[in-house]
């Protein structure tokens, strides 16, 4: 698997929360060569399985979310203008003059309209415009015939390779996690004997409800789960604490709600295989699917691995490819040796 090529493919798939089904089918096809069975469920989740063949073997579920932040059309106006609402955590400060793709039956170009500075009144330059006061300009005189209310919208930016092995793109949150899991199961393809079953959940609606992780984890009901997501990368203008250098490897979550035994086994695997990692100490709710999955059914012992990412929830998210590879390496190294027991 060529990691950058795979990430570009994944990031090109539109999957606003609640509109993931088409992307799910494409992702299912990517996992097909490495798993015994692959399916999509009614929530739009991708569920893939690899059985180890051992009787009464325990199951480890690997999760990354497929959905991305975006928008939905709320009104179509004369002159090709659209009113829209955000889906997920969208910062209105970075929207004006942004390019978007309206996912009508035929994808359409649009730009978030902005007032030229010459026409602004004194003091207006420093005020953020609320999303409900913004418009998308499609330039279409027949927009009412071509665009329906409820149509999803995504950022239009395409991936760009940066120096130092970095990739800049929309929706690397969490296509980077999807790619890490895909690379990990590829690495395990040649391993004939495993000590546990592996289930893969590429889940929906993480950005809005956590529905996909909840229903998917309930369907599998594994003994263990590992959520793979992104965490905040270090930048000169950002905080000094709680952020991670790009290139430092995978961030291993550690907190009161994360299973200590499973976390220790992951750290042990990282050390034994010389895989770069950092500890991400958390006070409670991780804000990820790890929080959602651990309360499913009678409870699932859950760990969290995160990939450092700059500019989260923007159209210009940045990750370093080596950190995605480190995450995949750690998953593969852990699963090669895991016997199904992770005591506290």
Cα–Cα distance measured from residue 310 to residue 315, given in angstroms and rounded to the nearest whole number: 11
**Backbone CA torsion sign across 230, 342, 46, 191:** positive
Cα–Cα distance measured from residue 326 to residue 246, given in angstroms and rounded to the nearest whole number: 12
Q: What angle do CA 64, 253, 232 make, to 5 degrees?
A: 75
Q: Which two tokens stand for residue 40?
A: 């999509």
Q: 203 pairs with which residues across the strands? A: 65
Assign residue 79 a region (left: φ > 0; alpha: ψ between -120 and 50; beta: otherwise).
left
CB 69 within 8 A of CB 59: no
The catalytic site residues sit at 206
Strand-pair category, 37-40 with 166-169: unpaired
Give the distance between the most distant pair of CA atoms in the chain: 73
């Amino acid at each position: 698997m060529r990691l950058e090529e795979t990430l570009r493919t994944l990031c090109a798939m539109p999957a606003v929360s609640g509109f993931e089904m088409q992307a799910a089918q494409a992702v299912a096809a990517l996992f097909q060569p490495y798993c015994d069975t692959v399916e999509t469920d009614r929530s739009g989740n991708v569920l893939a399985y690899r059985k180890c063949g051992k009787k009464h073997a325990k199951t480890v579920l690997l999760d990354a979310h497929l959905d991305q932040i975006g928008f939905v059309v709320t009104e179509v106006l004369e002159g090709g203008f659209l009113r829209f609402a955000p889906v997920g955590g969208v910062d209105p400060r970075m929207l004006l003059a942004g390019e978007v793709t309206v996912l009508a039956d035929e994808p359409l170009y649009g730009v978030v309209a902005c007032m030229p500075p010459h026409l602004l009144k004194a003091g207006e330059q420093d005020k953020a415009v609320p999303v409900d006061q913004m418009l998308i300009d499609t330039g279409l005189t027949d927009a009412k015939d071509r665009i329906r209310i409820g149509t999803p919208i995504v950022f239009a930016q395409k991936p760009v390779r940066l120096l130092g092995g970095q990739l800049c793109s929309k929706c690397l949150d969490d296509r980077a996690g999807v790619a890490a899991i895909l690379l990990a199961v590829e690495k395990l393809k040649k391993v004939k004997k495993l000590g546990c079953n592996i289930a893969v959940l590429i889940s929906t609606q993480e950005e809005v409800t956590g529905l996909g992780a909840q229903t998917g984890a309930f369907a599998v009901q594994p003994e263990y789960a590992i959520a793979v997501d992104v965490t905040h990368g270090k930048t000169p203008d950002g905080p000094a604490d709680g952020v991670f250098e790009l290139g430092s490897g995978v961030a291993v979550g550690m907190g009161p709600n994360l299973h200590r035994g499973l976390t220790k086994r992951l750290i042990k695997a990282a050390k034994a295989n010389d895989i770069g990692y950092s500890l991400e100490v958390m006070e409670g709710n991780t804000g990820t699917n790890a929080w959602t999955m651990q309360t499913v059914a009678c409870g699932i012992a859950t760990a969290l691995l995160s990939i450092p990412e700059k500019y989260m929830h923007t159209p210009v998210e940045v990750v370093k490819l080596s950190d995605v590879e480190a995450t995949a390496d750690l998953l593969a190294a852990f699963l090669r040796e895991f016997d199904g027991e992770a005591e506290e």
